[in-house]
Structure 1
Amino acid sequence: MSKQGKTAATMALVMGTLAMLVSFMAWSSLAPLANQITKDLGLTISEKTFMIATPVLLGSIMRIPMGYLSDRFGGKKVYIALMIFVLIPLFFIPMALNASSYGMLIFLAFLLGMSGTSFAVAISYISVWYPPEKQGLVLGLAGMGNIGNAVAALSLPKISQGFGLSGVYYFLMILLVVMIVLFYLLCQEMPVNKDKTLGQAFVVAKEANTWYLALFYFLTFGLFVSLSNLLPALLADSFKITPVRAGLWAAAFAAVATLCRPIGGALADKVNPMKLLEGLFGLMFILSLCLAWTMGSLALFMTSIIVIALLTGIGNGVVFKMVPFVSKGNTGTVTGFVGAIGGLGGYFPPLFMGVIKQHTGSYQSGFYFLTAMIIVCLVVLYLAFIKSGNSDFN
């Protein structure tokens, strides 16, 4: 790679990751403010968890077309267009809050979900600049843009205390405008195949490995998204701690999971990734039971949360190490499929947990369904890769 090419690759990695960080701050912005919004609008527990989950829906299903668009037209163009679009819901959310309009807020939260598609665009844009032997580490580093969840949980409640809920969204708009300008000035467009058709890109849906990775990511990334978003409300409801303190714990979870992601990618460059997932899922099975059994103690519960954050982060890195090898030239589309299913893994649990909390008075039973999901992934992993000797990703 020439010096100019190395510079372009480095800038793609740095700016693509930073843009994802800011986008993820916007994507997860309602979660750390949920208790305050609930109080201001007089919401029920189910309405609160529905509000928290709503941005995840569009942010998941739109990863598929956004990944394709990035592969087809170029990640720089698509990334900038995406960030410009996200400014729209950020601008109108303060109006919905000031009008105490839950319906308008849900509609804008749905549109805000587009910021979550930044993941598919970033992976497509960044991956083309690096050779296969570096994909695990590079995509792990790119995935650190997920730390936007932690930054949001840590900073937004404090900004809200000083400048109100509206101030939070004006702050996010400023960050996004700065990122748009920097991305336009500093980044080069990626090479694209302008002859690629939609049918050629979506051939990845016929690959069994696409769906296996999607299932595993449904567990690992879904757990990351759902707990990052749900923890502030869960901790405040279950342990009666302040929103700022709950945000600190949620930030700790998101930070640990995000920082461990490149470790997972680097490990998967060296070791059989399916064997790694087998060990990770086994440990996650144990930790899921610990989450259910330690709801009576904040210290024990948060210890379990931090350990499962570590496992989740490593698992995310391991899964995405394998994405570029499913279908050459279609990394964005594979990323879209896998990321969409993974994102949906973060959409349903908060809704489900909200219903459980409202009807039982506790979130505890919800963690047993996490245990069941882990068992499903372990069985599929064993049958499809361990027992069969499938070496597609070795």
Structure 2
Amino acid sequence: MEIQQKHAYRALSLSTLAFAACFSVWTLYSILGIELKSSLNLTSTEFGLLLAAPIFTGAIFRVPVGFLTEKVSCKKLLFWQMLLAVPPLFYLPYVETFTEYILLGFVLGLSGVSFTIGIRYVTDWFDSKQQGFALGVFGAGNAGAAITLVLVPFIVKAYGWQEIGPIYGVGMLTMAIIFRLFAPEIGKYYQDKKNDNLAFHLAPLKDLKVWRFGLYYYFVFGSFLALLLWLPHYYMGAYQLSLTQALALTLLFVTSSSMVRAVGGWFSDKFGARAVNWSAFWICMVCLFFLSYPPTTMIIHGVTKDVKISFEVNVWLFTLLIFIIGIAQGIGRASVYKIVYDHYPNHMGSVGGVIAALGALGGCTLPIMFGLAVDLIGVYSACFMLLYGVLALCMIAMYLALQAERQQKSLKHAIEHNFLEQD
């Protein structure tokens, strides 16, 4: 038992590090895109498309890869997925046009499927009482985005923009070799013949609640991903901060939101995942209300003089609200996957892959919608108005689902106790 526990924690540690490395590549355009927006003279919408390119392939391929994890060794899958990201990284210095960056972004996006593979790999090592914590720790690999925020400016200062790809390529290759050599393998699940039937893995997708969980993850992960891509640009545009200042404040958001995910998993184990998720939604709702309000000046025509009233969320209040949202999102991401495990413990590859894909699609579609909203409405806070609407939809869906479950339980209880029986 002690040896098994050592293997479990080694598997968790190495898979988290591998996921962090992959996540840093997946979000590389968040920093590179700032330089490209200037050098290629991109509009906000084109900038959103650039950010969305790697996220798109990372999202859509999570579904087939999720089913593949039910058949093939997750350790081998994660190793080969990391190797696939190496060639495009070395090719990055030779790309010149907007179209080429979009196409290369699609290839780099394959690093985003690491989450689906890792989730399936980790769940085999822990029992149900520890799943929230284990999945939360693994999900803290989102902090890989912090690697990009710290490492890229250093590379640029020391070696120039052209060296980002090759240096990342060497790092990814090194991480792949370390994972292949030292991560433990687990084989018992793949020898279980009852799981060879594709219909077994497809069956849960008929449940409406799978797609409802996906909607929750669309917000807690999709908006987190969209914000870490968009925030450096937002800070520089809305508050005229330097790139270094913008990256430092974005780093605070990313790191805190990623690290707290392990805490969110523990909360979900102790207090219930649904209660934790609902609380996270309410916290985000309050913060987004204030962030959505654009800088406003109102003039009241008085009896003897005009009264001028101004309202604006300054950079420090903005950063505080974003920090709180990041904490709530981190806890929410952990609680969603604890809910998924509670309902579908034997389908974490297939169901988990679909939900991960829906969440990642948020990181793909939201930056594009952010750009469109800013171009059409003409205010920077339009992106938060959009997020407010997405969250309202999630909360309405959760409320209606809870009401329906209560009614079903009441009806079942009434039937079991013969409520129609006459005296």
Band of TM-score, shorter chain: over 0.9
1:245 correspondence with 2:242: no
For residue 106 of structure 1, report the CA deviation from its aligned partner. 0.4
Matched, 1:318 2:315: no
Rounded to whole Å, the distance in 1 between the matches of 2:292 and 2:355 is: 28
Please state whether the residue corresponding to 1:35 is helix, strand or coil. helix
Q: Deviations over 1:79-123 (max 9, x none)?
A: 011001111221222110xxx221111001011111111111111
> 1:40 maps to what in 2?
39
Identify the range of structure 1 (114-123 vs 61-70) with the bigger mean alpha-carbon deviation.
61-70
Q: After superposition, what is the alpha-carbon deviation per residue over 1:315-366, rounded to whole angstroms, capped at 9, x for unaligned?
A: 0111111222333332111210110001111111111111222234322123
Within 5 Å, which residues of 2 pair with 1:278-297? 278-293=278-293, 296=312, 297=314
* Cα drift, residue 64 of structure 1: 1.3
SS at match of 1:31: helix
Q: Kindly provide the amino acid, as one letter, of the partner of residue 349 in structure 1.
A: L
Unaligned runs of 5+ in 1: none
Partner in structure 2 of residue 58 of structure 1: 57
- Within-5 A mapping of 1:303-382: 303-382=320-399
Please give the secondary structure, in 1, of the residue aligned with 2:371: helix
Q: Quote how far apart the aligned CAs of 1:385 are.
A: 2.3
SS in 2 for 1:240: coil
Q: TM-score, normalised by structure 1?
A: 0.94
Tell me the matched-pair count.
387
Letter in 2 for 1:209: K
Question: Structure 2 residue aligned with 1:167, among 143, 163, 181?
Answer: 163
Q: Secondary structure at the match of 2:384?
A: helix
Distance in 1 between residues matched to 2:393 and 2:38, nearest whole Å:
38
Deviations 1:262-293 (A, max 9, x none): 11111111113222222221221111111123
Listed one character per residue, the Cα deviations across residues 237-270 of structure 1 (whole Å, up to 9, x for unaligned) are 1111111211111111111111111111111111
Equivalent residue number for residue 71 of structure 1: 70
Runs (5+) with no aligned partner, structure 2: 296-311, 410-423
| Root mean square deviation of aligned Cα | 1.7
Give 1:311 shift. 0.7
Q: Contact 1:136/1:317 (CA < 8 Å) preserved in 2?
A: yes
Q: Which amino acid aligns with 2:139?
A: G
- Once the two structures are TM-superposed, the CA of residue 294 in structure 1 deviates from its matched residue by 6.6
Percent identical among aligned pairs is 27
**What residue is the counterpart of 1:299 in the other structure?**
316
1:141 to 128, 137, 161: 137
Aligned partners of 1:386, 1:22: CA distance in 2, in Å?
42
Is 2:185 the partner of 1:189?
yes
Please say if residues 63 and 120 of structure 1, whose CA atoms lie closer than 8 Å, have aligned partners that are also in contact.
Answer: yes
TM-aligned CA deviation for residue 157 of structure 1? 2.2
Considering only CA atoms, is the larger Rg found in Structure 1 or Structure 2? Answer: 2
Match for 1:51: what amino acid?
L
Q: Which residue of 2 aligns with 1:117?
A: 113
Range that drifts further, 32-41 or 145-154: 32-41
**Equivalent-residue separation in structure 1 for 2:267 and 2:45 (angstroms):** 40
Match of 1:84 in 2: 83
- Matched with 2:175 is 179
Matches within 5 A, 1:196-275: 196-275=196-275
Which residue does 2:24 correspond to in 1?
25
